[in-house]
Each structure stands twice: as C-alpha cells, then as structure tokens.
Structure 1
C-alpha cells in the first residue's frame, strides 16, 4: 500500500489542508477514532483519499454566520430544525465520509427529532453547507450527491453557490429551494454588516426577513 501525504499551501487564509491517499476505510476509521473530542479539524474521506482541514478565522467566521443566517430563516418561517453541525456523516457502503461545516434536517426534522441520527436507516440531512476558501481535492458535489443530500450550499469567501439534487447529480440554482424568497444579496449584505457588528447585523437581518415574509 502506498500512502502519499501532500501538504497544500495557498495565499488565501481560510483553511490549511493536508491530503492523504491510499487509505482503506478501516485505516480512515482508526484515524477518526484516535482523534480527540472537541477537535477543530474537519475530515473528509472519499474512496481512499482523506483530506484533513484546519479552519482558520475567515472560514470559522463564514461558517458561524451562515449557520445563524439559516437559523433565522427557519425560525421566521415557523419551521422546525435539527442541526448536526460538523457531525461525521459516515457512509461505509459508499466508501465516503464527511464532516461538513453545517448540516440540517428541516423537511425531515420530524423523522429524526429527539434521537441520534443513523444514516443506515434515516434520510440524509436536507441541507449541507461547506465553506471552502482554499482549494479542496475532494469533489464534494459528487460526494454529497452520492449520499442523497437534497440541497448543498458552497461558499468560497465571496460567492454563495446553491445546488439542488436532480437525479444523481446537482443542478446549480440562483435561489435556495428551501428559502426561495431569499436573494443571494441578502447573505452577502448580512456577512458584510457582521464584520462591523454581528449583533446589529443580526437585528437588521431579522427585520428584513420579517418584512419580506409579510410581503409574501
């Protein structure tokens, strides 16, 4: 077995990444369970390739604020929510595993409410969010499509891309299927305002959301 460790360096400061190739599923599981609880690193495993991501400030800022953005929208719409955050989504049957920045049950929240999710029996999360400021060697669109995740968001520090699963692949959309009344500019404005004051940005966004819902 040949294993190659490839350190990846970029000018962007969103993450640091290390890729390891030639790993079996069993070897990946050994690494996963040997790591301490409460770690900040994210692991993504795809057919023998393990990518270890160490989020930095820009990454964590975007991940946290996008999570708040989603929570505000869900609450304002009167929906229910189960958040998995970066829970490991193991799919040994697919030889794939991921720890996204955020993952949510919204449409299927009632099916998993009050208990631990078991992906061998339960549906995948309804929405998965990945923040990738720097380049990733993992084709995350194919990874989450294979898991059957209906909606996938990607944010690279500048652009919010929205994907909906259609058949076995994702189709990029201008608006979220879950929040089709929300414009991309709403997120951009929220993130920009939050750089100056997160509390004021949250208050302003809640006001905007309520206004938009009243116009529906």
Structure 2
C-alpha cells in the first residue's frame, strides 16, 4: 500500500481533492496537520473528506456577502457573533465543515466569549454562507450539524436554504431578514461591485437597507 503525506498533495486554486475511507481519527489528524492558518477549506461526512482550494473570485464574493450580512444586522440593530471559517465538527454525526462565513444570531448570547467550540454542547451557527457549493459532502455535513439557514452564492445568484426535517429546502426569502428581497438584492450589489468596486457597492447596499427600514 502506498502512503502519501498531505504535504505531497497539491490542490490548484478552484480545484478539490476527495479522500474516501477516512475515519474520524484520521480526519482529526489531517486537520491538525493542515493547521489553522491556511487557504484551503475542508468538508467531512461519513468517512469522505473533501479538501478544496478557493479561487480569488470565491474569496472576493464570500467577503462582500459576509459584509452584507453584517450591514443588515448592524442597521437592524440585531446582535450577533461572527465565527468566520471556524471548523465545526461532531464525531457522533461523522460530520465537519468550514463555512466561508457564519453568524450566531438567535443564539448569539450563548457564544459571547467562546473561543473553543463543542457542538455536542454548543449550537451550530444560525446562518452560514457558502460560495460555489457544488458538493454533496458539504451540504450533507451542514444538514447533519443542523445549521438552520444556509446561503449559497453561485454564478451570480443567491440561493437561500432552510433546514426542514433534516434536509434543506429552497426558500424565496430569509426568515432572518424577512422584509428584504435578498435574492435579488445580494445579486444586484455583487454585480455592482464588479464595475464600481466593493466599497461603493457596500455603501449602496447600506443605503438600500436603510430605505427599506424607513418605509
């Protein structure tokens, strides 16, 4: 049997590798070997491990959509705790995921000051954001961990998924922000950022939010 070390594997930007028959102990060892300061993201579900390397476009989109989420919460004066791309995992669910961004909103009080998470005790994020999700491994991990709301942004469009009976169902609105047409709005301002820059797009997005609040 041939044994490879992770440092021998190279994942080009925009690509992913999938490793099968990875038990939980091996998954933990791989996370430790990869370390925390890295560009790659991992997803794990039922002995299948996916390691992906984002493109610059991916990183731009996840940042600006995350900023939009923060603007919405700030303008609505809703408290939150942001946990970015923290690794969320549960051994009993055989699942692990690293979101592009995520927020504790309904459960933010429980997370104040928390720097080490245990999902057998702590709740999963209330809202997670993923850009260019095409993998069943990723979606299955989110479903297993019980993340109630997942935003997927791909090819210029936002999809809102809500967890119902353990599976994601596509929704036309976000229950976290029910008064905002986010599917149209997020796409509109991401598109604006491509021609006018992210700062101008985010200022315009904040104005758009305030106008809807003042109605």
- TM-score (normalised: structure 1): 0.89
1:42 is matched with 41
Q: Does the CA-based 8 Å contact 2:90-2:119 persist in structure 1?
A: yes
SS in 1 for 2:53: strand
1:73 equivalent to 2:61? Answer no
Q: 1:189–1:14: structure 2 CA closer, same or farther, 3 Å change rule?
A: farther
2:27 is matched with 28
Q: Does the CA-based 8 Å contact 1:2-1:22 persist in structure 2?
A: no
Per-residue deviation, 1:151: 0.6
From the two aligned structures, give the one with the greater helix fraction: 2
Q: Does the CA-based 8 Å contact 1:62-1:157 persist in structure 2?
A: no
Q: Does the CA-based 8 Å contact 2:156-2:190 persist in structure 1?
A: no
Aligned ranges 1:115-134 → 2 under 5 Å: 115-116=114-115, 117-132=117-132
* Backbone CA RMSD of aligned residues: 2.2
CA distance in 1, matches of 2:200, 2:70: 16
User: What is the number of residues matched between the two proteins?
Assistant: 207
2:189 is matched with 190
Per-residue deviation, 1:143: 2.1
1:146 equivalent to 2:126? Answer no
- Give 4+ residue runs of structure 1 displaced > 6 Å after superposition: none
Q: Does the CA-based 8 Å contact 2:156-2:191 persist in structure 1?
A: no
Among 167, 170, 174, the alignment partner of 1:169 is 167
Q: 1:125–1:113: structure 2 CA closer, same or farther, 3 Å change rule?
A: same
2:201 is matched with 201
SS in 2 for 1:18: strand
CA distance in 2, matches of 1:174, 1:187: 13
CA distance in 2, matches of 1:141, 1:176: 18
SS in 2 for 1:22: coil
SS in 1 for 2:71: helix
CA distance in 1, matches of 2:2, 2:123: 35
CA distance in 1, matches of 2:17, 2:136: 10
CA distance in 2, matches of 1:27, 1:145: 22
Per-residue deviation, 1:170: 1.8
Q: Does the CA-based 8 Å contact 1:74-1:81 persist in structure 2?
A: yes
Q: Does the CA-based 8 Å contact 1:14-1:132 persist in structure 2?
A: no
Q: 1:125–1:137: structure 2 CA closer, same or farther, 3 Å change rule?
A: closer
1:181 is matched with 179
Per-residue deviation, 1:137: 4.8
